[in-house]
Structure 1
Amino acid sequence: MKKILFIVNRTKASAMSIAERLVGYAASAGFDCDINAEFPVDDCAFDGKDICCAIGGDGTILSCVPSLVRRGIAVFGINLGKLGFLASYNEEISREDFICLVSGGGREISRSLLEADFGGKKYVALNDFVMKDSRADGISTFRIDADGEFIAACAGDGVIFSTPTGSTAYNLSAGGPLIHPQTRAFVMTPICPHTLSNRSLIYGEESRVRVHCLGGRSAFIADGRRIADLEEGSEVDISVSACSLKFLRLKGHSHFAILRSKLGWAEDPRRHLK
């Protein structure tokens, strides 16, 4: 019997009632279910689970990434937030579609992760790692090396290292490129660089980037969570992780349809002139 863990974001007014309805669907189909509405979620809550349904938004899924990856648990989300790139389904999901997802009737899609090595510890990120000056009036300076070769010095508000999945998030807002989510690569995008020549750079999946903090006081952030502070002399290694995160999707799911509907991508601006 498969076991489903429902992660419920209690700050969303209807989240618990949706969870209870979906638990009813699952139980009637023979699934064993647990509901967790605590934040942060205790890592032990994921033990013995096969599937995770996150009810809230993209941030709800991102908060679970390390625990999901360690156990190889597949995830899908019910979006009660704003955009919903990762949490693809709305609160009106039908019983038929829900059972299709948890019964293996849809598709399982793997998304690549980034791994960071800092201070003797390893971290993973589904969207991005960000090194950003934590002072309102400060500039941080970084030296970037890749595979033992000097790439650039970057001075400004900080730098983003994004997966293809995260390329639609902070990377995009900072002027970085969109990358198809099945691409095995990652992108480095400076945040407000203090020069005209510093632009995004895409690295291959075998690349290993070392970031040296040359000056400033920066926060080291993984998927929106501040995990450490960087000072002059700090070093962080960034690479594509050997692990991945599995998402459950219904057949017919389209990445480009989401880009068009959520971001207005490839929209003809002339239609606004009519």
Structure 2
Amino acid sequence: MKSVFRHVALFGKTHANVQGPALEHSRQVLDDVAQFLARRGCDVVIEKDTALHMGLHLYPTLDVPTIGTECDLGLVIGGDGTMLGVGRQVARYQLPLIGINQGRLGFITDIPLQSYQELLGPMLTGRHQEECRQLLHARVERGQDCVFDALALNDVVVYRGGTAGMVELRVDVNGHFVANQRADGLIIATPTGSTAYSLSAGGPLMHPALGGWVMAPIAPHTLSNRPIVLPDSAEIGIEIVAGRYASANFDMQSLASLMIGDRIIVRRSQHQARFLHPEGWNYFDTLRKKMHWNEGGA
């Protein structure tokens, strides 16, 4: 059967550290997937930066805005970090994404590379499940100016710099003062990001259908300062009170250096990421596999 998706864009790893044999392998995988799609009647394009990094010149290339407006499916080949980057960029276009896992974890790139043809084939004919994941929208305000603005699919993290001292943060929710926190940092995570850095900091796992955020301190000075789950309608304000070289990052990719008095505003984005999964996909199956639950059980 032919694909119900006519115009498909391929996204791959564009990290500078993907070189040598790893780069050649990624290039071959992308070419194989492109040929697989073409045999099913898809018009295939390669995202511009992916094609440049991979040295793939046999297919048309488009930039992300053009892909967002002209394509009807994005296929991401890489790890969760690759999917996070693509998801942030195309969410505003409501472009559905399918992830083929070429990384280590694969919480949101859930099609194993070795069996992609078996699973992807039926999905292309319309046999798939769709889910939407909420994004965070964060701004860094310095006085009356916005000095940084970004989306995050996983988390927004404010943390101390390379010095040994802690950072002190004044936190409010919907304009109501919560606490002055002294810690190595603070994480605001989506349900998608609850399996990432937030989990390492003691935060809970959140089902992606829940409308909420995790606010988790990193190594707090006061041990009673614990993670808290907030509604995703909340606006969270974080002010830098003390601490040299504090920074903020967004999905561990976008960085902003902060000054005393800077204020980070985190709220729900108007955009959502659209993920397509194989028929029968279940979030708990993913957790059980990736978290290695029940290993050694009957």
What do the CA deviations read for 1:13-36 (whole angstroms, capped 9, x no partner)?
A: 522222222212211222111124
**Are the counterparts in 2 of residues 51 and 102 from structure 1 also a CA contact under 8 Å?**
no
The structural deviation recorded for 1:75 is 1.0
SS at match of 1:256: helix
Q: Counterparts of 1:144 and 1:67 in 2: how far apart (Å)?
A: 28
**Are the counterparts in 1 of residues 88 and 273 from structure 2 also a CA contact under 8 Å?**
no
**Are the counterparts in 2 of residues 140 and 157 from structure 1 also a CA contact under 8 Å?**
yes
Candidates 181, 194, 197, aligned match of 1:167: 194
Q: Counterparts of 2:168 and 2:246 in 1: how far apart (Å)?
A: 9
The structural deviation recorded for 1:255 is 1.1
Q: Does 1:259 align with 2:263?
A: no
The 5 Å alignment of 1:150-161 reads 150-161=177-188
Q: Counterparts of 2:205 and 2:118 in 1: how far apart (Å)?
A: 33
SS at match of 1:178: coil
The 5 Å alignment of 1:132-147 reads 132-147=159-174
Q: Counterparts of 1:229 and 1:260 in 2: how far apart (Å)?
A: 37
Q: Does 1:82 align with 2:104?
A: yes
**Are the counterparts in 2 of residues 208 and 237 from structure 1 also a CA contact under 8 Å?**
yes
Distance 1:42 1:195, change over 3 A: farther
Q: Does 1:3 align with 2:3?
A: no
Q: Does 1:21 align with 2:32?
A: yes
Q: Counterparts of 2:137 and 2:53 in 1: how far apart (Å)?
A: 24
Same amino acid, percent of matched pairs: 31
The structural deviation recorded for 1:45 is 5.8
| Greater mean alpha carbon deviation, residues 217-226 or residues 160-169 | 217-226
Q: Does 1:104 align with 2:126?
A: yes
SS at match of 1:82: coil
Q: Counterparts of 2:165 and 2:71 in 1: how far apart (Å)?
A: 45
The structural deviation recorded for 1:69 is 1.0
Q: Give the structure 2 partner of residue 46 of structure 1.
A: 67
Q: Does 1:205 align with 2:232?
A: yes
Q: Does 1:227 align with 2:255?
A: yes
Q: Give the structure 2 partner of residue 72 of structure 1.
A: 94
SS at match of 1:188: strand
**Are the counterparts in 2 of residues 185 and 240 from structure 1 also a CA contact under 8 Å?**
no
Q: Give the structure 2 partner of residue 239 of structure 1.
A: 267
Q: Counterparts of 1:105 and 1:15 in 2: how far apart (Å)?
A: 27
**Are the counterparts in 2 of residues 65 and 125 from structure 1 also a CA contact under 8 Å?**
no
Q: Counterparts of 1:198 and 1:237 in 2: how far apart (Å)?
A: 21
**Are the counterparts in 2 of residues 186 and 203 from structure 1 also a CA contact under 8 Å?**
yes
Q: Give the structure 1 partner of residue 136 of structure 2.
A: 114
The structural deviation recorded for 1:117 is 2.2
Q: Counterparts of 1:103 and 1:235 in 2: how far apart (Å)?
A: 47
Q: State the AA in 1 paired with 2:179.
A: A
Q: Give the structure 1 partner of residue 46 of structure 2.
A: 35
| Greater mean alpha carbon deviation, residues 59-68 or residues 88-97 | 88-97
Q: Give unpaired runs (5+ residues) of structure 1.
A: none
**Are the counterparts in 1 of residues 248 and 257 from structure 2 also a CA contact under 8 Å?**
yes
SS at match of 1:63: helix
The structural deviation recorded for 1:42 is 5.2
TM-score, normalised on structure 2? Answer: 0.84
Q: State the AA in 2 paired with 1:167.
A: S
Q: State the AA in 1 paired with 2:11.
A: I
What do the CA deviations read for 1:168-199 (whole angstroms, capped 9, x no partner)?
A: 00000111100001101001000001111111
SS at match of 1:259: helix
| Greater mean alpha carbon deviation, residues 28-37 or residues 167-176 | 28-37
What do the CA deviations read for 1:94-139 (whole angstroms, capped 9, x no partner)?
A: 4352132234320111011111122335321110011111224131
What do the CA deviations read for 1:42-101 (whole angstroms, capped 9, x no partner)?
A: 544634222111111111111223321121111121112111111111112343521322
Q: Give the structure 1 partner of residue 58 of structure 2.
A: none
**Are the counterparts in 2 of residues 186 and 240 from structure 1 also a CA contact under 8 Å?**
no
Q: Counterparts of 1:94 and 1:83 in 2: how far apart (Å)?
A: 16
TM-score, normalised on structure 1? Answer: 0.91
Q: Counterparts of 1:240 and 1:44 in 2: how far apart (Å)?
A: 22
